Amino acid sequence: MLDHVLAKRAAEALTLPEIIDARDVALDLSISELGSFAAEVRKARKGEKPGKIAVVTNSAFLFALARSYAKVRDHANPRLQVFCDFEEAHAWLIKPSSTTDE
């Protein structure tokens, strides 16, 4: 996951919107590791505001983990949302941001 973030950093793409398709993904990550990952992402962003990120999963564990990450990362960042439905995630992602999304 960190390699993906660093690759986006190198491509200067951290502010671009993204759908992360985590359907049928197996991931074993502790809350401690999640906090470390969030710290690394903040460091990689170098103060830039992140682009909207929609995570799509069919796993209750990953859904809860992604929601926890959103809270750990940026104090309930409204620009990161978790979905069970790909079309719903895509619709949210392309919807123009409101002032509450900023």
pLDDT for 98: 63
The pLDDT, as a whole number, for residue 77 is: 55
Domain carrying residue 89:
2-101
Per-residue model confidence as pLDDT tens for the chain (102 residues): 788 888 988 898 888 999 989 898 888 777 788 778 778 877 887 777 778 889 999 988 888 888 777 776 655 456 888 999 999 999 999 988 764 454
Sheet bearing 80-83, strands edge to edge? 18-21, 53-56, 80-83
Q: What is the Cα–Cα distance from 84 to 24, expressed in whole angstroms?
A: 11
Task: Supply the pLDDT for residue 19.
Answer: 94
Total domains in the chain come to: 1
